[in-house]
Amino acid sequence: MEIFEYAPAPESRSIVSIRPSYDLFIDGEFVEAKSGERIVTVNPADEEPLAEVAAAGEADVERAFAAARRAFERVWSPLPGAERGKYLFRIARIIQERARELAVLESLDNGKPIKETRDVDLPLVAAHFFYHAGWADKLAHAGLASTRPLGVAAQVIPWNFPLMMLAWKVAPALATGNTVVLKPAETTPLTALAFAEICQEADLPPGVVNIVTGAGDTGRAVVAHPDADKVAFTGSTEVGKQIARAVAGTGRRLTLELGGKGANIVYEDAALDQAVEGIVSGIFFNQGHVCCAGSRLLVQESIAEELLARLRARIERLRLGDPLDKNTDIGAINSAAQLARIRELAAAGEAEGATGWSPSCPIPERGYWFPPTVFTGVTQAHRIAREEIFGPVLSVLTFRTPEEAVVKANNTPYGLSAGVWTEKGSLMLWTASRLRAGVVWSNTFNVFDPASPFGGYKESGYGREGGRHGLEAYLG
């Protein structure tokens, strides 16, 4: 009997033209870096170099801040909100028009599946610009203490959602009248540089958005720059702490969106098949490179065995491979360094006595890959229950009562996200109100909307992005 298997369905690369080399985007133009240094960004799915980009030095960062300050004082902050809004609407529309190209570029540079860049990242990127475009002339009605912009915002973003994190940072800053110096991640600079072209296409006044590529040193120069009125960072807790130390006492405003170790709580009366979907999307969405991932599954002991059997059967169906194949569910790990970290923590899980399981999916020979992995027999004391892995590795713990579920869920230095699965409304509210996490998803996971504020507790950072609350971080 002939059973149908999915044939390869690759999205074409030809829609994207990647230049061999990129300069910095300062004052509305692409300019050579004074530093003369370059870094290479590779495709994590096959380790082939994609392009060379400039690594900005202190003199370059200086130039970017000077341009941003000039644009803030002369053009952007005096501009009526309605006019700022027009630019943001224009940017949002160009993003939609170029969505397919940007999705392919993001998949190439990051390793995430085209299905996610096409159906999640790009729609959300456009939505963030549309949403904030709407706020630009309505700040007086947002019910906030001030409608005055802060000045120049120094923004450093991570590699897991390159363009989406850019949107979360740039859109609110611009809507509120601030100008921006943004540093994209070292391993994923290409969509930010494509965004620079979009700013040109939208005739955004020079200096309103400046993009300086580079690695850690560039990032340090950006966040430590004395002319930054506001620092916004999304990334690891370790770097977040360094930034907090550097900014402390300077009077500059700071928002940090850091790591997480989200608990996904499944009660015995949950809709099991959908809970399984929520667990899968919670930890395997974007290869687990998600700060708000549901990396700890807390399942009620009475259904643990049944739920795990369903979960394993479901994971067996995940399709790992070419990120540009439209049927790929799990793409590549973003970098060799991240792969090493995931491997180290997975090995620690085994060494500490937990049991790892992965499906029998073939792993491509070239590139950075890690199979979806589920650890059972995990206890609160294990490293894989406490440390952020930032990869497709799920730690499964069990609980007996709602009290125990909440205590275990909160027993982490982080507090970014949590999920609760139950068909009982009162238990849902009881649990959600006791979880110390910035986002609590109810019978769903990893769902985002620009109108909904996002941010953390404790070591997951402070400040909110998105919604009315997100505007506050750029006004004062």
**The dihedral formed by the CA atoms of 372, 374, 380 and 383, expressed in degrees to the nearest 10:** -50
User: Is 48 among the residues that bind another protein (CB under 8 A)?
Assistant: no
Residue 257 bears catalytic tag: yes
Residues 271-300 that bind another protein (CB under 8 A): 271-275, 277-278
Residue 274 or 355 having the CB closest to another protein: 274
Instruction: Indicate the angle between helix axes 99-110 and 122-135, nearest 10 degrees.
Output: 120
Q: Which stretch binds another protein (CB under 8 A): 31-39, 82-90, 269-277, 407-415?
A: 269-277
CB of 253 to another protein, least distance (A): 37
User: Is 344 among the residues that bind another protein (CB under 8 A)?
Assistant: no
User: Is 6 among the residues that bind another protein (CB under 8 A)?
Assistant: yes
CB of 30 to another protein, least distance (A): 36
Q: Which stretch binds another protein (CB under 8 A): 1-9, 79-87, 397-405, 468-476?
A: 1-9
Q: Which stretch binds another protein (CB under 8 A): 137-145, 265-273, 288-296, 450-458?
A: 265-273
User: Is 326 among the residues that bind another protein (CB under 8 A)?
Assistant: yes
User: Is 1 among the residues that bind another protein (CB under 8 A)?
Assistant: yes
Choose, by CB under 8 A, the member of 29, 48, 83, 119 that binds another protein: 119
User: Is 381 among the residues that bind another protein (CB under 8 A)?
Assistant: no
For residue 29, give both structure tokens.
């133009």
**Given 291, 292, 387, 472, which residue is catalytic?**
291
By rule CB under 8 A, what string of x and - marks binding of each residue 198-237 to another protein?
Answer: ----------------------------------------
Whether the CB-CB separation of 152 and 179 falls below 8 Å is answered with yes
Residue 361 bears catalytic tag: no
CB of 206 to another protein, least distance (A): 40
User: Is 426 among the residues that bind another protein (CB under 8 A)?
Assistant: no
Q: Which stretch binds another protein (CB under 8 A): 2-10, 19-27, 49-57, 78-86?
A: 2-10
CB of 442 to another protein, least distance (A): 10
For residue 269, give both structure tokens.
């009366």
User: Is 12 among the residues that bind another protein (CB under 8 A)?
Assistant: no
Residue 1 or 381 having the CB closest to another protein: 1
Q: Which stretch binds another protein (CB under 8 A): 14-22, 161-169, 245-253, 270-278?
A: 270-278
**Residue 100 CB neighbour total at 10 angstroms:** 16
Q: Which stretch binds another protein (CB under 8 A): 18-26, 41-49, 218-226, 268-276?
A: 268-276
Residues 437-466 that bind another protein (CB under 8 A): 443-444
Residue 1 or 140 having the CB closest to another protein: 1
**Given 11, 186, 257, 387, which residue is catalytic?**
257
Residue 21 or 274 having the CB closest to another protein: 274
Choose, by CB under 8 A, the member of 152, 270, 374, 385 that binds another protein: 270
Distance (Å, rounded) from C-alpha 69 to C-alpha 230? 12
Output Rg (C-alpha) for the chain, integer angstroms: 22
Q: Which of 199, 167, 181 is nearest to 70 (CA)?
A: 181
CB of 208 to another protein, least distance (A): 36
User: Is 9 among the residues that bind another protein (CB under 8 A)?
Assistant: yes
Q: What is the 3-state secondary structure (H, E, C) of the chain?
A: CCCCCCCCCECCHHHCCCCCEECEEECCEEECCCCCEEEEEECCCCCCEEEEEEECCHHHHHHHHHHHHHHHHHHHCCCCHHHHHHHHHHHHHHHHHCHHHHHHHHHHHHCCCHHHHHHHHHHHHHHHHHHHHHHCCCHHHCCCCCCCECCEEEEECCCCCHHHHHHHHHHHHHHCCCEEEEECCCCCCHHHHHHHHHHHHCCCCCCCEEECCCCHHHHHHHHCCCCCCEEEEECCHHHHHHHHHHHCCCCCEEEEECCCCCEEEECCCCCHHHHHHHHHHHHHHHHHCCCCCCCEEEEEHHHHHHHHHHHHHHHHCCCECCCCECCCCECCCCCHHHHHHHHHHHHHHHHCCCEEECCCCCCCCCCCCCCCEEEECCCCCCHHHHCCCCCCEEEEEEECCHHHHHHHHHCCCCCCEEEEECCCHHHHHHHHHHCCCCEEEECCCCCCCCCCCECCCHHHEECCECHHHHHHCCEC
Residue 7 or 140 having the CB closest to another protein: 7
Find where tokens 């090493």 sit: 340
CB of 294 to another protein, least distance (A): 14
CB of 6 to another protein, least distance (A): 5
| Per rule CB under 8 A, count of chain residues that contact another protein | 26
Which positions are catalytic? 257, 291
Tell me which residues touch another protein (CB under 8 A): 1-9, 115, 119, 269-275, 277-278, 317, 326-327, 423, 443-444
